[in-house]
Amino acid sequence: MKPVIALTDPMSSHVKSANYTHWLARWIPDAEIRILSYSRATGDPLAGCNGLVVSGGVDVNPALYGRQDAVAQCEIPNPERDAFESRIINQAIEQNIPFLGICRGTQLTNVVLGGTLVPDLEPAGFASHSSTAEGDRVHGVVIEAGTLLESIAGVHQGEVNSAHHQAVERPGKGLRIAARSTDGVIEALEWENPAGRPFFLLVQWHPERMRNAEHELTRTLILHFAEALKRHNTHEDHL
């Protein structure tokens, strides 16, 4: 059977939304992509799914990580989206479904697991990581030795695109830092103890729209996610 990928609806422009589906379809052409959102949810959203991609989008409500004082630094929150995606994040983790979080997906997953965010990077003393009128910024990242990210990317550093003003502050329960930007912003998280768990990776950059589709910090991510989908699909077929 072909694998089924659950993709949370980024609820943004058509172009940005299409970036995710085109990226997944390019590297996993036999997959069915199921778009999930609170506005179209029926029954069990993850039923029959072999993997979950949690996409980017608007800021996570700072009240979810105890920073009600930071509301003015954030975009208008979408509580329905936060609640829906928090539920399926927990469900995917409980059901051992291969998992990839991107930008907001990284931030919300971290909050779901008890972590916190930097509500706005520049007032916190970091350089801007936001996109510009010309498009995404580009900056360096340094990958931590001994991490899953290092093993799949095969590099210790690289350059990624950047379009965010928030970031992980304190990693959630069970997570460890896999990469930081050259100015110290947390750029990737993964399980601290991954033994016995399926693929799980959270990245702050946007691999679905990096200009170089063969870049080691996009191609290797999706290929390893694809392999995890196949393993999960095969396992489900034999249950």
**Residues carrying an active site annotation:** 103, 206, 208
- Alpha-carbon distance of 131 to 163, in angstroms, equals 4
Closest CA to 162 of 111, 81, 98, 106: 106
- For residues 157-182, one letter each, b for 16 or more C-beta atoms within 10 angstroms of the residue's C-beta and e for the rest, the string is eeebbbbbbbbbbebbebbbbbbbbe
The C-alpha atoms of residue 6 and residue 185 are separated, in whole angstroms, by 28
Q: Specify burial of residue 58 (Cβ count, 10 A radius: 0-12, 13-18, 19+).
A: middle
What is the C-alpha separation between 222 and 207, in angstroms, rounded?
9
Name the phi and psi angles at 136, rounded to 5.
-65, 145
